[in-house]
Amino acid sequence: MQQMATSSTRAFVFEVDNERYSAQVTALGHCFLVWIGQKRAVDSTAFGFSSDASVDRSSSMLVFGQRDAKAHLLEKFTGLLSKKLPNKQVIVSTDLTTEAAEKWQHIERAVIKDIEENRAFYM
């Protein structure tokens, strides 16, 4: 009999420039589904994976609409999470429309902090 992968979810809230953001991460075996945003909607999605820590991780992008600066920032963010979560597939969705690189850096720091403080969930 084949076993089904179990899932667990964690959610957290953080602030960037006095704006409140929510994040929800669902762990499905060797895959993480990550949603970050403010309105509980999906505007863009990115995928990232590497099976070996020595491999340069990158992500491929699935964009609804035009490939813009925001899409590039989301792709970069997904690649960063892929590096922090070796041997895991990472799928990131967001409703954020910001193209401000500085804001995305703050979002990155908040998510990385959650990964570091909750290693048992992410590993």
> Do strands 89-94 and 44-48 pair parallel, antiparallel, or not at all (unpaired)?
antiparallel
Q: Give the pLDDT confidence score for residue 50 in this predicted structure.
A: 54
Q: Provide CB contacts within 8 A for 79, sequence distance 6+.
A: 48, 57, 58, 59
Backbone angles phi, psi at 31, to 5 degrees: -140, 140
- The confidence band for 3, taking pLDDT boundaries of 50, 70 and 90, is very low
Q: Are 59 and 91 in contact (CB under 8 A)?
A: no
Domain made up of 7-122: CATH architecture: 2-Layer Sandwich (3.30)
Q: Which pLDDT score is estimated for 22?
A: 92
pLDDT digits (tens, 9 = 90+) for 45-79: 666 655 554 455 455 555 444 567 777 788 888 88
Domain boundaries, the chain: 7-122
Strand order through the sheet with 44-48:
7-16, 19-28, 31-37, 89-94, 44-48, 59-63
| pLDDT cut 70: percent of the chain above it | 72
What pLDDT is recorded for position 95? 81
Position with higher pLDDT, 18 vs 29? 18
Q: Which residue has the higher pLDDT, 39 or 18?
A: 18
- Calpha distance 114→101 (Å, rounded): 20
pTM over 0.85: no
